[in-house]
Structure 1
Amino acid sequence: MKNITLYNADRTDHLIWPSDFQEVSASSTALSVFTDFRQHEPAIIDADTKALDAEQIMRRSHQRLKLVLNGQGEFVGILSLEDLSDHELIKKVANGHNRNELTVTDMMQRRDRLKVLDYHDLEVMTVAEVLDLLKQYGDEHCLVVEREQHEIRGIISAREIARLLNIPLSISRPPKFAEVYLAAIRR
């Protein structure tokens, strides 16, 4: 047996992360900021989870987005912390829902309303182009699909890109038609 010594952890020792060693710039390939589900398990949540529980789960796990699966394990939408904000909960309650009975299904962004990016387009894009695209659509996250195989391949996060580039993030969702209409009739 080899003579190996264990040392005490030093106060100056700190955790390192893979991103500490990534050299990402605006001109880097977009694949450098892509979370590939072939290499990383997607963060998922059950569609029937109570909305208030989902918020706690996401905050404890430091996840801002989860993919929503129904009882059959099929992808039905995405849920972000923004979807669970007090503002969104109050809107649901104002429409007659009981706050304590709201589920992930009530709060999520439904699959049929999501915009996705094709993996082959991602292969030829730069980080700056992806960030511009996300700003254009007002989305902090974008699913990436392989359309020929009908596979959800992964996800891109504007927040992660901003963190890697060490730039401020300012993405706002475009107003919905109903919001524009209400603002116009109030004038």
Structure 2
Amino acid sequence: MKTLTYVSTKDVNNLIWPATTEDINIYSSALSVFTDFTTAGPRVIESSIRADELVQLMKKEHVRMKIVVDTDNHFIGVISLDDLSEDVFIKQIANGFKRSELMVADLMRAKEELLALSYTSLKNSDIESLLFSQRHNLLQHLLVIDEDTKAIRGVISSNDVVRQLRLDVDVAFSSFAYTYQSAILGQKDHAKKLKVA
């Protein structure tokens, strides 16, 4: 067993902060709003977990989406708090299921239904191009795939875009479509108002 050393904090004034880019705007690299799984591991859940238990777990962890894996940790889909809404549970119960019987596998969006953004194209894009390409996307998360390795490389959250651009948007209701309207169309409306004045 090793002995640990303790030091007084009396004379310590500074904190270490992660390296960040201060002036992120819509022309900044799209990578500035990308969560790369090579540096921040994916948040995963097994498909056999009870769906009602997952709701509580996600709220406790303050996450809105998890990647669903099988027992071998192979990617099989995604599940978000929207997929676990009370309305979804009520519909399933109306179809004859018991709430306690519903598993993540029953409510997730399977990988066959999903489209992911190419990591190569993301590397060469800015936030404006990313938002424009997602202007009709009503979801909050976008998977990014590394086509060379055929693996999910990371995820982009509309909430991260909102935070990085410091938009006045309620992240509880944000989506890529709403973020696009706020960031791009909102800027154009703001520019028109400035020209009028």
The TM-score range, normalised by the shorter chain, is 0.7 to 0.9
Aligned pair count?
A: 167
Structure 2 unaligned runs (5+)?
A: 1-6, 178-197
Q: CA deviation at 1:35?
A: 0.6
**Taking structure 1 as the reference length, what is the TM-score of the superposition?**
0.79
Matched position secondary structure for 2:143? strand
CA contact (8 A) 2:131 2:176 kept: no
Q: State the superposition RMSD in angstroms.
A: 2.5
Percent identity among equivalent residues?
Answer: 34
2:146 counterpart residue number: 146
Counterpart Cα distance in 2 of 1:33 and 1:154? 11
Within a 5 Å distance, the mapping from 1:64-83 to structure 2 comes to: 64-83=64-83
- The Cα offsets for residues 79-106 of structure 1, whole Å up to 9 and x where unpaired, read as 1111111011112112221111111111
**Alignment-derived partner of residue 171 in structure 1:** 175
Between 1:43-52 and 1:132-141, the stretch displaced more is: 132-141
Paired position in structure 2 for 1:34: 34
CA distance in 1 between counterparts of 2:38 and 2:51 reads 28
1:96 is matched with 96
1:18-49 deviations in whole A, cap 9, x for unaligned? 48764321110001111111111100011111
Return the letter of the residue paired with 2:10.
Answer: Y
Q: 1:16 to 1:140 in 2, by over 3 A?
A: farther
- Measured in 2, the distance between the counterparts of 1:109 and 1:103 equals 12
Q: Of the candidates 7, 11, 26, which is equivalent to residue 10 of structure 2?
A: 7
The alpha carbon displacement at 1:5 in A equals 4.4
Judged with a 3 Å threshold, the aligned counterparts in structure 2 of structure 1 residues 94 and 62 are, in CA distance, closer, same or farther, namely same
Match runs of 1:154-165 below 5 Å: 154-165=154-165
